[in-house]
Structure 1
């Protein structure tokens, strides 16, 4: 399975392509789509759409994981990033990708396990998780990688919880209360 991670913006859109195969992650590509601030917003949005379609056509991802908008102090910024997100989502929908959205807090927790992690901590974990020699640059691309990894981790958790809930139906329980040790043994023996 291939995941397209997106850190949306108007001047810079970070992207990443990560492949999940046999519980192993492989970073296939990452980078940024840049638009010139002197162009009209319409032209910038068209560049984002066209460049994203090239990436989608090249790698044929199955899922798109994109960062959700969060509060901006500048209303003009939130509107323009919202427009860019719309174009990005359109590219995903047009190309039949399953789309998933994550808040910055979810990404921090998904990568570091800590919701107040700073950007450097997230980047170091991305480097560690993917066994890279250095932190990916620029920051927007590193963020897109973190978003894709968060999505993969959420898929693994969902898959694990589905398997666990199927295996642990009430018919397998001999009593209504059990210790943590008994629960763990039941879980391990139901696989």
Structure 2
């Protein structure tokens, strides 16, 4: 099962693809889609959508896992994040999509929902040997994909 994990953001959306076969996870690809802060919002959302559609077409994931929105102190930032997240959800709407809370992802990867970004990055690199250097956004996206794969396996075991 090929899973794409997504960490939505207007400035830099991280994406990470893994192949999950039972308990075995293999890194496929990762990257980030950046938009220019000075551009109009509609142009930035268009860039995000087009780039994400290109990633999906190139890698053919079978499922998507998206990190849920958290509320910022700044309402404008929260609104922009919500709009970017909407574009991400639109791009993957043709796939089965799961949404996972940040704390749940951190707990699944590191063992605690209060893990720091450096801890998440270190565990992702340990769980996916050979994935190479990662930025925070790419590590977060791969963490979402890994957590989704683990949660899928747990759900199947519980159902059996």
Identify whether the pair has TM-score above 0.5, normalized to the shorter chain. Answer: yes
**Partner of residue 62, structure 1:** 62
Q: Look up the match of 1:143.
A: 140
Aligned pair count reads: 160
| CA deviation after TM superposition for structure 1 residue 105, in Å | 0.4
Report SS of the residue matched to 1:50: helix
Q: CA deviation at 1:153?
A: 0.5
Q: Which has the higher contact order (CA 8 A, sep 6+)?
A: 2
1:123 aligns with 2:112: no
| Superposed structure 1 runs of 4+ greater than 3 Å apart | none
Structure 2: gaps (5+ residues): none
Contact residue 121 and residue 134 of structure 2 kept, 8 A = no
TM-score (norm 1): 0.80
The structure that has the greater radius of gyration is 1
If the length of structure 2 is used for normalisation, what is the TM-score? 0.95
In 2, the alpha carbon distance for the partners of 1:113 and 1:79 equals 30
Mapped pair 1:79 → 2:79: yes
Gaps of 5+ in 1: 164-191
Determine whether 1:152 maps to 2:149. yes
Give the distance between the partners of 2:12 and 2:20, measured in 1 at CA: 26
RMSD of the TM alignment (CA)?
Answer: 1.2
CA distance in 2, matches of 1:97, 1:29: 18
**1:21, CA displacement in angstroms?**
2.5
Aligned equivalent of 2:95:
97
Instruction: Encode CA deviations 1:13-50: one digit per residue, 9 max, x unaligned.
Output: 00011111243211111010011111100000001000
